[in-house]
Homo-oligomer: A and B are copies of this chain.
């Protein structure tokens, strides 16, 4: 079943007009017609079953037939704060995979050793929307702006599990063992050259626990996916 994104749809609506872009995709690309069924998500937890009422290529109207609120709601809030990779495709891929696996918030981090210091958030947002539709998530992960590391760790955080993944130390506890008893998890993932010792120490001063993601030396984007997956095992 095709899925469309309808950010301003609410569970009490009975009729809705798809955006210009979604109408075009529905009518021109997928060649859907009157009476055909579809699903919609609002990004705030509701999945809608609907049917095309008018097959207009830029203002496609649909009738809502059923709604499921809290669709796929998880018990854990997972926030991945990650230094963007030099090659932006690697970050994009990480964001797509985390969205599929299950994530609630992303914050791109500006670190001491970050090689990439600029981002195009519109493109990342598009990747999130596409992954949300593809994997039928009713909740849209939040994408925060690029934030300096010091600012991020110093900011008051409602999470009860604060973790920083790094390789500056051997024998760190594995996130798998540490994440279990936490319902709101933040994991910090560093850039290609890892977090600096100063950054690790700063995070620890703000209550972050240093953890390992396993024996393997992982690239930044792989570390992001692995951390997200580990947090999800307890979600």
Instruction: Give A residues with C-beta under 8 Å from B.
Output: 72, 74, 93, 97, 100-102, 134-137, 176, 214-219, 222, 225-226, 229, 232-233
Contacts and interface: CB of A to CB of B under 8 A. Distances in A.
Contact of A100 (B101, B134, B176, B219): B219
A101 B135 contact: no
Given A97-B225, A225-B97, A232 B214 contact: yes
Nearest to A93: B93
20 contacts: A72-B215, A74-B215, A97-B225, A100-B217, A100-B218, A101-B214, A101-B222, A101-B226, A102-B214, A102-B215, A102-B216, A134-B217, A135-B216, A135-B218, A136-B217, A137-B216, A176-B233, A214-B232, A214-B233, A225-B225
Nearest to A176: B233
A141 to B, nearest CB: 13
B100 A216 contact: yes
Nearest 3 Cβ contacts at the A-B interface: A135-B217, A100-B222, A97-B222
A97 B98 CA distance: 14
Contacts of A218: 100-101, 135
Nearest to A221: B97
